[in-house]
Amino acid sequence: MREKLEAIERAGSPFVVRPYQARDRPAIREICRKTASEQPNPLFHEDAELAPMLYTDYYLEHEPESCFVGVVDNRVVGYIVGCKNAKNYEKVLRTRIVPRMLLRITLNVLGLRYRRAATYRAIWWNLFSLLLPGRFDKLPPPPDQYPAHSHFNVESCYRGQGMGHALSIALNGHLIKQGIKGRHAVLVEKPGKDAVSSSMCNRRGFKIIDTRKYVLLNKITGQEWYLKLLVCDLKPQVPDSSPAIAEETR
């Protein structure tokens, strides 16, 4: 792993990829907050703190060894946070992360801190989905041979410079050393807007195994969205200059 990271630096890239350290936590959560507005769910637009709670806290608190950062001039400008087993992730998400988020949302609603109608519409439909989960089609769980997944983000001014791919290389190397042979990803895309999934399939070794309408997000936004489940057999990779890709977590 260390040899690969050093090779990335020697190649002349304007960044260094290294393992996560506890002092990186505030920077990672801040990057996630800043990019929350890029998410289609209105909840993240008015309450950006919900994004790092959902997308980073599990990994930083429970699997810090599976996290890596991209650094420029000693400043963290990108990250990838990984999970070795989606079943463990789902259990912690359900018992710890989601209750923490629900408490925050409830306190903000009672305190009248949310101002936008779209936010309350998102809260309503999310609550409805929790009470009546059978009304919303969901993707099936990933096959057992693809237990790992990740989430990553890169500050907008550093995208397109290969940092996303370099972070993915670092995580894949770690997962391979742990004996994990497969990784999955869940993407959210609009119909006809498949640049991310196409890139992951054409250049990252992923393949799409299921696509379904994202009924919950359709209700929240009034627009059509699709969920796509992709899987990838893990094998060693070499750096290239591919642009960073936003990969969603389950």
Cβ atoms of 96 and 159 closer than 8 Å = no
CA torsion through residues 199, 77, 35, 151, sign? positive
What are the phi and psi torsion angles at 25 (to 5°)? -55, -50
Q: What is the mean pLDDT of residues 3-30?
A: 76
CATH number, domain containing residue 87: 3.40.630.30
Per-residue pLDDT tens digits for 93-129: 999 999 999 999 999 999 999 999 999 999 999 888 8
Tell me the average pLDDT of the chain: 88
- How many CB atoms within 10 Å of residue 34? 14
Does any domain span residue 247?
A: no
Does any domain span residue 14?
A: yes
Q: Write the DSSP assignment of 44-55 as a string of letters.
A: HHH-TTHHHHHH
| pLDDT on residue 7 | 42
Does any domain span residue 248?
A: no
Range of the domain at 108: 2-233
Per-residue pLDDT tens digits for 148-171: 999 999 998 998 888 988 999 999
| pLDDT on residue 239 | 54
Residue 196: pLDDT band with limits 50, 70, 90: confident
What radius of gyration do the chain's Cα atoms show?
Answer: 18
Does any domain span residue 239?
A: no
Q: What is the mean pLDDT of residues 38-61?
A: 95
The total number of structural domains in the chain stands at 1
| pLDDT on residue 2 | 55
